[in-house]
Amino acid sequence: MNPENAPEKPPAHSNFIRDIIVEDLKTNKYGGRVHTRFPPEPNGYLHIGHAKSIWLNFGLAAEFGGKTNLRFDDTNPEKEEQEYVDSIKDTVRWLGYDWEDRLFYASDYFPQLYEWAVQLIKAGKAYVCDLSADEVRQYRGTLTEPGKESPYRNRSVEENLDLFARMRAGEFPDGSRTLRAKIDMASPNLNLRDPVMYRILHATHHRTGDQWSIYPMYDFAHGQSDSIERVTHSICTLEFEDHRPLYDWYIEQLGIYHPQQIEFDRLNLTYTLLSKRKLLQLVQEGRVRGWDDPRMPTLSGLRRRGYTPQAIRNFCAAIGVSKTNGIIELGLLEHYVREDLNRRAPRAMAVLRPLKVVIDNYPEGQVEEMEAVNNPEDASAGTRKVPFSRVLYIEQEDFREDPPKQYYRLSPGREVRLRYGYFITARSVVKNAAGEIVEVHCTYDPETRGGNAPDGRKVKSTIHWVSAEHAVEAEVRLYENLFTRPNPNETEPGQDFTANLNPHSLEVLTGCKLEPSLANPAAGDRYQFERLGYFAADPDTAPGKPVFNRTVALRDTWAKIEKRGQEGVRS
Ligand code: ATP
Ligand code: MG
């Protein structure tokens, strides 16, 4: 296993679900077993919210020597696809978790679920109902008013068995009938007002093909699947709290092994949507380049962007779980990404918006190999040689002809340090016809090689550079938040969330100049480009033609000063 994927020891810190498990182990409720499952519906790619659930289910079981199943909750053939199954498996593995030989599908249980439905019919606990979906809704009542019983509620067992068998045989059109549990139309819990167990759907399922023309509802499939798999703690998100009485009811009526459902808070993140339906809309409308677009909160998107599985796990451990839904700052996730990349990413020099610098007193044709530290956080990463020559590139923003106050980078007459190189002083500029600076002429002090002056004089700024003759040309993709509002669902009347898409979420820079060691990265290789941020090689990288994604910026102190200045002017 790739070391970055190796799960760290589960955190010793506690949460209420862990407390329940500890208590159950103490009382020997499940014979000392801890068995969880992660149950995605294969109707989209996994997102950062799912990571929280994966971390919780796999992490808790691992801590107590238990097991975790991967189970596809594939009861809705109209929206599910093999492509999603494959990506989900790949993503769970990437996050660092292993279901071993325990890969299951709810669709594997369709025959058993059918038998259980027949069992409930025979016990007088389920009936075939001919009301349409609309009528079922009208009969259900509201939170303040009880529902009305279906006129089909008191069909005989024989008639129900016959009709249900014919539903299965495909005799009836979609939506014409349902199988419903006979519970209580006056229950204060709407989920108990004769919930639908099976619906008729003539659809091709990605695994069972056309075998079935009826499909179980989530509530009739989930608990029983947990039971079949002998899950001990069935951990799900809070919106299922009101479904728990139904989960328990089915299991009790069937008299089968009873797992415990426990609910926790969903992850919500600022500037981010975590709904597969909405993410699918972004993909289908071409608002992003696909499910794995680095702007997407999908785990495949974050992976492509350069996030590490370790950073995501650390984030999950930090936010923990609770019983109330809240919103986490996107900045916190970015913090854990920076923290992890700071430790593991080798440093390199790259110039994104190049400005040519000519060192007039540096010998023509001379090339020196400067020694550069690969990772100050990791001595074992060693050093590398970076070529230095007479013509270099620096960032355009590292030179100002008229430097504002507090700007200490290069400007006429100002001396700065070139990282791992020499002190240089700007002498003059060359402008094009449009008056833009295209070249800065400098002199260097040969005594300052390595970055220090023998006479002890100081410079206030160190800037990065790339030797022009040795530079590798690259495309670099910069990302901002996909949405402009902290809550992307907050819109003006008549708009949908796409109105909040950030038009500047992607900026593509071409002609960027990289140091030669970056010529042939493998897709996924991560670096810190000094002073700029963390970057990961994109799968679009071709030999000698790197494409990098900015994973996350470093905190830029100058941008902050300048912004504060502007705000000062405005107010
Ligand atoms: P979505 O609303 O994005 O479609 P979902 O809940 O329908 O999500 P599932 O595939 O059913 O997606 O989810 C699998 C598991 O992941 C479930 O146990 C679900 O509760 C959990 N999960 C989904 N979204 C989140 C989230 N934002 N935070 C924590 N857990 C989540
Ligand atoms: Mg779901």
Residue minimizing CA distance to atom 10 of ligand 1: 40
The helix (run of H) or strand (run of E) holding residue 61 is helix 48-63
Phi, psi of 420 (to 5 degrees): 60, 10
Beta-strand pair 67-72/103-105: parallel
pLDDT band, very low/low/confident/very high, at 555 (cuts 50, 70, 90): confident
Give me the pLDDT at residue 14, please: 84
Compute the distance between CA of residue 23 and CA of residue 146 in angstroms, rounded to an integer. 38
Is residue 56 very low, low, confident or very high in pLDDT (cuts 50, 70, 90)? very high
The finding on whether 274 has its CB within 6 A of some atom of ligand 1 is yes
CA–centroid distance, residue 17 to ligand 2 (Å)? 21
User: DSSP code of 555?
Assistant: P
Q: What is the pLDDT of residue 562?
A: 63
Q: Does residue 8 carry a pLDDT above 60?
A: no
What distance in angstroms lies between residue 155's CA and the mean position of ligand 1's atoms? 37
Bridge partners of 35?
67
354, 514 in Cβ contact below 8 A? Answer: no
With b for 16 or more beta-carbon neighbours within 10 A and e for fewer, the 114-135 pattern comes to bebbbebbeeebbbbbebeeee
- Mutation choice for ligand 1 from 36, 48, 53, CB with most ligand atoms inside 8 A: 53
Quote the pLDDT of residue 496. Answer: 95
Residue located nearest, by CA, to atom 2 of ligand 1:
275
Q: What percent of the chain has pLDDT over 70?
A: 95
* Averaged pLDDT for residues 192-196: 98
486-511 pLDDT, tens per residue? 999 999 999 999 999 999 999 999 99
Residue 12's pLDDT is 54
Model confidence pLDDT, tens digit, residues 248-263: 999 999 999 999 999 9
- Nearest atom, ligand 1, residue 239 CA: 20
Helix (H, G, I), strand (E, B), or coil: what is residue 239?
Answer: helix
Q: What residues are annotated to the active site? A: 41, 266, 276
| 196-227 pLDDT, tens digit each | 999 999 999 999 999 999 999 999 999 999 99
Give the mean pLDDT of the chain: 95
User: Looking at residue 4, what is its pLDDT?
Assistant: 65
